[in-house]
Amino acid sequence: MADNVGSKVTYFLVGLGVGALVGILFAPKSGEETREFLAKKADEGKDYAQKKARELRERADELIERSKEIAVSKKDSITAAVEAGTRSVSAPSRSLRGFD
């Protein structure tokens, strides 16, 4: 999953760079206007990347928390099963001792 997200971000950044380059080459605007436009787009790209990073971090935190809950639940289930198995193994041996 992380590879998929990383590749999407990479494609976005490459597309952003190519779009900026094409925009510069074919811009009918003056140099100053073009620089302002590029600065604005760079800020938008930075804001977008920060937003996506924040969303990914929140999602990762949610997944980690959920994984911890599942691990605790499974640990409790296994512990209960081991205890039940221990009781069932030791219970017949006590009843057999009474027949000695």
What is this structure's pTM?
Answer: 0.48
**How many whole angstroms separate alpha carbon 44 and alpha carbon 6?**
19
Compute the C-alpha angle 30/35/38, nearest 5°.
Answer: 125
**pLDDT more than 90, % of the chain:** 32
Name the residue with higher pLDDT: 14 or 66: 66
Q: The tokens 């639940």 sit on which residue?
A: 73
The string of pLDDT tens digits covering residues 15-31 is 888 887 787 777 677 77
Q: Show me where the domains of the chain are located.
A: 2-97
